[in-house]
Structure 1
Amino acid sequence: MPLPFMTAAGQSGAAEHTDRDLQSPLPHDVREHWRRPYRPGPWRVGGAAVLLLLASYMLFSALIIALAGSVTGALVCLVAALAVIALALRLLRVGVWVSAYGLRRVGLLTTVTLGWHEVAAVRTVQQPVRWLGLPRTVQGQALDVVRAGDGEALRTLLTDHNADFLARPEAFDRAADVIETWAAESRAGA
């Protein structure tokens, strides 16, 4: 995933990029690439950072155990650290991804991909939503997708109380609008 904001070219074109974002809801020239139409939220990034910190401690302990002479203990610690690193990376990929081909909902353990021809509607609804994915529910907004064939609703894509949008209602509104625009333009073009 390119990070243009970390390069000198990204710094010089930052004002130009934001102007282009304001003009078009779909600022990407290459529509075939899968992209997340919003940035990961601070809760998601913070959780992944904590997991990576834990993994660094586990790797350091694997080194100490290996120097102490227990190779099997060091290997167990190394494998556990690699599993935590994989979990942190997967946590960062969780979310909604769009392209010209369709809509992809990436979860921690599963991924569901729908072609635009399979999507009947993408809409924002008011409903009880889970707070940070925990069992506690609060009243909020959710972005739902209805399948074209059977009218069955896909599991909620985004909520304004998940790890990406908690305490950032404007970011949720922008992301929901962009995803709805992708759906409308892609269904109209198909």
Structure 2
Amino acid sequence: MPLPFLTAEADSEESAAGAEPLPYEDRDRWRRPYRPGPWRVGGAALLLLLASYILFSALIIALAGALPGAGICIGAATVVIIGAVRLVRAGIWVSAYGVRRVGMWGTTTVEWSKVDSIRTVQQPVKWLGLPRTVQGQALSLALTSDEPLKPLVTDHNADFLGRREAFDMAADAVEDWVTEYGVRS
């Protein structure tokens, strides 16, 4: 059985010329310029664990013969699973179109042409999204229309709590996207 992906033929210019770019090379796709943090992934894992317990209880309830109760448990588990997926997807995403801030309850997209500047500022920020504020850094956009906009990310959110170097790298990556698309920073 020939395996052409293991041979030198796969590296030839002819096969690479017609190939589609890999997802990380395609600038038009939305991508997160950093990895999700341990708090975000851990919270989603706990939600998925809770959903598995709810689904197991739905199985037991269904075997006992109470199908409406099993349906309620399956519905509750579905809501918890959707919440876990939404929690993992939350953060900032960039593409050639602009920057997108995905939250648990909503999404805000800003085109690069509407961005006046981007900078890292020292300000009071929410700790893990809770009402408690602490002094920290935030990556904020200034729009050409002077609309107030929440900070994109902070060094005390679920992605960067206790990972200051990762916050700095993510802020630099977003600033690189801004400078690449002709916006002053």
Instruction: Sort the TM-score into its range (normalised by shorter chain).
Output: 0.7 to 0.9
Count residues in correspondence.
161
Equivalent residue, structure 2, for 1:60? 56
TM-score, scaled to structure 1: 0.82
Structure 1: unaligned runs, 5 residues or longer:
1-27
Are the aligned partners of 1:103 and 1:114 in contact in 2 as well (CA < 8 Å)?
A: yes
Choose which of 81, 95, 104 in structure 1 pairs with 2:77: 81
Q: Are the aligned partners of 1:144 and 1:153 in contact in 2 as well (CA < 8 Å)? A: no
Mapped partners of 1:107, 1:38: distance in 2:
16
The runs of at least 4 aligned residues of structure 1 exceeding 3 Å deviation read: none
Which amino acid in the other structure matches residue 43 of structure 1?
W
Match of 2:35 among 36, 39, 42: 39
**Which residue is equivalent to 1:158?**
153
C-alpha separation between the residues in 1 aligned to 2:136 and 2:82? 31
**Alignment correspondent of 2:110:** 114
The two structures have a TM-score, normalised by structure 2, of: 0.85
Deviations 1:34-58 (A, max 9, x none): 0000000000000000000000000
Report which of the two has the higher share of helix.
Answer: 1
Residue equivalent to 2:16: none
* Alpha-carbon distance, 1:153 to partner: 3.2
| Structure number with larger C-alpha Rg | 2
The alignment-based identity, stated in percent, is 64
**1:107-138 superposed Cα distances (whole Å, 9 cap, x missing partner):** 00100111111111111000011111111111
Aligned-residue Cα RMSD (Å) equals 1.2
Q: Report matched runs for 1:93-172 at 5 Å.
A: 93-148=89-144, 150-172=145-167
3-state SS of paired residue (1:152): coil
- C-alpha distance in 1, partners of 2:117/2:147? 11
The one-letter code sitting in structure 1 at the alignment partner of 2:32 is R
8 Å contact 1:129–1:141 — kept in the other structure?
yes
1:99 and 1:184 mapped to 2: Cα distance? 13
